[in-house]
A and B are shown apart, each in its own frame.
Chain A
Amino acid sequence: MARKHLRLGGIAVTAAALLLAACSSNSSTSSTSGTSSGGPPKAGVATGTLTGAMASGAIDSMDPNRWYFAVTWGLANALCTTLVRYADQPGTAGVQVVPGTANLPKISSNGLVWTFTMRPGAKFSNGRAITPADIKYTFERLMAPKVNTGTGVYFTNLIGANAYMAGKAKTIPGITTTANSISFHLSSPDGAFIYKAALPTTCPVPVGTPLKPIESGSLEETYASGPFKLQSYQPARQIVLAFNKNYDQALGARGHVAKIVFTIGDASTQATLQIEAGQLDFDTSNLATADIIKISSNPALASQVHSASRPSLTYIFLNNQVPPLNNVLVRKAINYAINRTAILAQWGGPLAGAPSDQITPPGQSDYKQYSIYPNTPNLPMAKKLMKEAGVKLPVTLVLRCQNDAPGFVNMAQVIQANLKQIGINVKIVGSPNSVNSSYIVNYKAHVPMGIEPWSLDFPDGEAIINTGLDPATPDAYANMARFAVTSFISPFNKAVTLTGAARQAAYEQLDYQIMSQQAPYAPIFNPKWYDFVSKRIGGYVYSEAMDAINYNTLYIK
């Protein structure tokens, strides 16, 4: 799903950042107070306070079965221990699943029953043991219509889940428990179930938690299960995480600071100045391009900058049901006509990402690089395809994008110029992300084209191919291309059931076939992640799975 990551506060702030970058002298960096020398502390020893900043609107929910934005998933990683979880490692090692409150599952020979045995020591922050019944209840709560989580759809192949989600059953018979284990009975094999069991929305809550959204943060104050618990939450003002003394370090040595204080509502560029001044330790937003340029030019700050590839794709969806985009030749022509390099330049250029013409982002196990469409336009080919398509030109198409973050409208303008070359007049319609994202998912709105950033919910091709392009459900909100080619239904359905190398090969092949045969998207680029942190931070890890800083590894030097 298109998980939201805020990128800067606004165009004016970016302009100011550029100005300040120009004003900036090569001044020395400040010293930081309260530091101690040495490496990470011993397991269970948590000292010092870190300060972080986040943009307004970065928190979508504080209900552990509802949160979805990247920043809240970053918090979830600190506050929760799910059945299984991602390793606290950088890069692709960080998308490996390791035991959480349970050991790695035993899977039945037919792939339909996944059994997780609970590990001793799994407790809530109030000291109460986490039981299999709590886990079952957690899954039921996250799928409860009244809680209305965004990730319930990933569990619809649990036996009885559909009836439960429709309100026709009070429990899910496909989840069974014993005194120390929980089993998930699937109606069809699911090769990505291990990742789904690690989703932050499966954060455990105790049996009996009300089946309605609880946004006060009270659940994570009392029932946190990670190395941190919520100490306080003032909406739109402040979040304080405190080390969870009831977290059993035998579940994984995590959490090395006593407290993390987040201020909500900081502008990214101001936060960068604060970090440089030693008044702040990190910001949860991706570093602004202007700041990347400024900081990169200062060797004294280089050790404080961290970059990583993100499990994300920015692309144009081409609505397969809107003429002339219902003609595959037109969609291919668009893929040949757009200048991916120039579009990426509007986002920040090579520092900010890498051009791509495929669906799955690099770093996923089922990613295999191919090249069908060029990074710079092949106009003769594009015009040839348009001619073959027999479309009466010129034709006008709407391209929707958000206009409350820098870069999107600029990218749209490049696309507009590119497509004019092949006789498509693009009408750009920009609106705030909140409006744009609600509108483009509306099947009845018949949105022809839109620029969308997409972050994977878990490191598997299913999280973008099946979720975003399932041909069996062209009216699904996430299928913005309204992809409905029936010959793909069977390969899609088969791919989800596979495991291991067969699954990997299936998704590699699907990615290639979709783009070479149908081109429902015009992929543009895979964005990069940049963090600028204070000098005193040690143990920095960007969690690719959460698309956020891993707070569990941080310590004060």
Chain B
Amino acid sequence: MRRIIANRLLGAVVQVLMVTLFAWLLFYVIAKFTGASPAQRIAGKQATPQQIALVARELGLNKPYWQQYLIFVGHLIHGDFGFSYVQMRPVSQILWPATRATASLVLGAAVIWLLVAIVIGGYGGLRPRSAGDVAGRVLAILGMSVPVFWVAPLISYFFGYQPTQGEVLGLHLVPVGTNIFPIEGYTDFGQNPVQWAYHLILPWITLAVGFAAVYIRFIRTLTAEQLGEDYARTARAKGASTSRVLITHVGRNVAPTVSVLLGADIATALTGVFFVETVFGIPGLGYTGLSAIENLDYPVITAVIIVAALIAVLANTVVDLLHAALDPRLRRVASG
């Protein structure tokens, strides 16, 4: 196991270095050649060449590229993501609240999509071709077919806006002016946990729709497969209840595979929830990244890319280690 951990962590470090190099190249070197250099941006459109050169010196852009990169990585190691000249404050002050908001959104949604998928997918695997299974599969296909940029405004419209007009799903069921869910907005957990959850219910559901659909099909297939295995038949023959077979036997074999998928999907979701954040006004990483791009705020753009990459690498590393912990075969392969 220690060998697995060492190999995986080494791989993670290499991945992070590659991503930081990519991010640095993208916004400090390529940008220079496209005419929209960081120094020019910071110095302003009317800046003289002397002023731009002064800013470039302050940013260290006059140093050789390899030195610039090492300085950049050195600062990162110390948690220094640089300084936003657009917002005139350290990038870390911008980044961490955004990361918290996105994590709130994604982790909450992950709980929902997992619970929904385990119930519907598990049932489908247990009772294939039953009415419930067919309904679950139809739901899954629908969930996979609708893009999030369509689902997000629709959910906001039907459950946030329509009740205020006295309607729910187009039916006059509630008094005009009813506020069931906010149309958009966000409250930080630290400020008010109840409001935090209240503002995130619709975004959680929105984000969960697409992922739940995939997981329903995935868990259904895995469960059906595992139920057909000898060990499951033996457990049943020995008189184990259905729930015991599902949870203790099948669940243990399905979990490692689902955990791999979950790790990858959480990483993807953390870095790709732009539409949900935009529609529901959540100041997360996607929103911060977009805002930074609009303002050509290079340090923030770079930091968002790096944080996104760190999350992806971290999530995959944790999942790999978790997978190894859950599946003894992997540990044997690694040690053997």
Contact = CB atoms under 8 A, between A and B. Distances in A.
Contacts of A250: none
Interface string B85-99: 011110000100100
B184 A266 contact: yes
A441 interface: yes
B176 A31 contact: yes
A25 B279 contact: no
A279 B153 contact: no
Contacts of A236: 87, 94, 283, 287-288, 291
B43 interface: yes
Interface string A14-40: 011101100101011111000000000
A19 B279 CA distance: 14
- Chain B, interface size category, equals 35 or more
B183 A274 contact: yes
A121 interface: no
A352 to B, nearest CB: 21
B74 interface: no
Given A215-B89, A277-B164, A439 B35 contact: yes
Interface string B273-303: 0010011110100011011011110000000
A501 interface: no
B108 interface: no
Interface size class of A (residues with CB under 8 A): 35 or more
B155 to A, nearest CB: 11
Contacts of A53: 281
Nearest to A405: B294
Interface stretch (A104-112, A145-153, A182-190): A145-153
B294 A27 contact: no
A12 B45 contact: no
Given A31-B176, A216-B88, A279-B182, A60 B295 contact: yes
Nearest to A10: B278
Nearest to A32: B177
B231 interface: no
A215 B87 contact: yes
Max chain B Cβ within 10 angstroms of own Cβ: one of A9, A30, A214, A264: A30
B150 A439 contact: no
A274 B296 contact: no
A371 B176 CA distance: 52
Interface in B129-151: 149-150
A16 B206 CA distance: 15
Nearest to B184: A270
Contacts of A215: 87-89
A445 interface: yes
B166 A265 contact: no
Given A30-B165, A148-B47, A432 B283 contact: no
Interface of A: 9-10, 12-13, 15-17, 19-20, 23, 25, 27-31, 53, 56-57, 60, 145, 148, 150, 152-153, 213-216, 235-237, 263-267, 269-270, 273-274, 276-279, 404, 432-435, 437-439, 441-442, 444-445, 477
12 contacts: A13-B278, A13-B279, A56-B287, A148-B43, A148-B46, A215-B88, A236-B87, A267-B279, A273-B161, A273-B183, A274-B161, A404-B294
User: Nearest 5 pairs between A and B by C-beta?
Assistant: A215-B88, A277-B164, A434-B296, A57-B294, A16-B153
Given A215-B87, A277-B165, 19 more contacts: A16-B149, A16-B150, A20-B154, A23-B154, A31-B177, A148-B44, A150-B44, A150-B45, A152-B46, A236-B87, A263-B185, A264-B283, A265-B291, A266-B184, A273-B160, A273-B161, A279-B183, A438-B35, A438-B45
